[in-house]
Amino acid sequence: MAETALERFIRYAKIDTQSQEGSDRYPSTEKQFDLLNLLVKEVKELGYKDVEIDNYGYVFATIPSNIPEGHPAFGKVPVIGFLAHVDTSPDSSGKDVKPQIIENYQGGDIVLPGDPSKVIKMSENKNLAKCIGHTIVTSDGTTLLGADDKAGVAAIMTLAQVLSENSSILHGDIRIGFTPDEEIGQGTKYFDIKKFGAKYAYTIDGDMPGELNKETFSANSAIITIEGRDIHPGMAKNIMVNSIRAMADIIAKLPRDMAPETTEKYEPYIHPHTAEGSVVKSTIKFLLRDFKTSGLDEQKRILESIIKEVQPLHPKAKFNLEIIEMYRNMREKLDENPLVLECLWEAAEQAGANPYWEPIRGGTDGSRLTEMGLPTPNIYAGGQNFHSVNEWLSVDAMNLTVKTLINLVQIWVKKSA
């Protein structure tokens, strides 16, 4: 019996796939294999034989072309890939997710039953007003939901199901892929583009229908480590060097107009997201984000300048700044491949999604894949409030994603004829 995207999503959401920062294994958590192995099984059950999972957890499969010999597009359609990640964010628990289904949503705040203090407020969720009459899915408020990105996983699997049942939908070779560890910035660490075999790809890892993404932040991380000296507080005068105080002075000098909570659209930010400290050693971890890659150099200079200011206040402390490259804005390389964008735009228009391009104030696996040579813009999946217990999903929007994907594979045939 054919399954709906909702039924698939609910099943996937109940599987704990939370990734873990700082893990010494890949994927970062063994439990991600619970869903990855299930997807291998389900793809095979749809009748597709070219399905595999490797030691790193990457699941690749082929939906073979059904274009008949003699058709104008026969042998001409490039291999197209669709990708989604299975892991959920370390920011909120993904264990024992209890999805709540609200049919025919009629507006108003949504109180989450597992913790009534958690409320999805219309005043904070402008897209709820666009979802009157939709079926909405939330968690019970004690965990995140996992729409990021199990809605994308469900959409791809539903596409695979539809194509297996409808030979009248002409398409070229399609590669589908499910990846681990995207939420900790490691989703493409061992991704083999040559093995995947697509010329162009799309991540299904976005927000509400209409929003298409061809540009992301360029991203670095930064780590400032301060070394102090400990001694009993009763005999500390002129001996103790308290690294915590130095850490506090650095944080206090960060530009307040360059923070996530004070910026939007194309504005860059420096975000101290983790701070750990003791007298003898303290560490601050930062996210550095700018749509202009050159802006990351300026952010490094800002941190260097702050350290220079703080150093005389703590002359016996040792300061170290480390910069780690993460990913780069995919806009430039996608603009060099306009067809991958044109086909996506047309597919979204045909689906009635009223498309528009929106910069992602974050990154996707597509950022790194594009940089590696696989042009990969991002498509909406229907969720909101990612990484939070207030996460929610419009099922109607997810279904529109499936419709967009069906349109997209046919448009590539049309463009190739």
Residues in the chain: 417
CA 400 – CA 175 distance, rounded (Å): 21
Q: From the candidates 16, 42, 87, 183, give the one annotated as an active-site residue.
A: 87
Give the full edge-to-edge strand order of the sheet including 218-227.
269-277, 281-290, 218-227, 318-327
CB 67 within 8 A of CB 98: no
Whether 182 is catalytic is: yes
Q: Kindly report the CA angle at 149 between 191 and 44, in degrees rounded to 5?
A: 65
Whether 371 is catalytic is: no
- Residues 6 or more apart whose CB falls under 8 angstroms from that of 268 comprise 217, 258, 289, 290, 291, 292, 295, 299
Q: Are strands 392-394 and 383-384 parallel, antiparallel or unpaired?
A: antiparallel
Q: From the candidates 149, 173, 181, 182, give the one annotated as an active-site residue.
A: 182
CA 302 – CA 253 distance, rounded (Å): 10
CB 313 within 8 A of CB 246: yes
CB 321 within 8 A of CB 359: no
CB 246 within 8 A of CB 314: yes
Closest of 363, 59, 322 to residue 185, by C-alpha: 363
The set of catalytic residues is: 87, 182
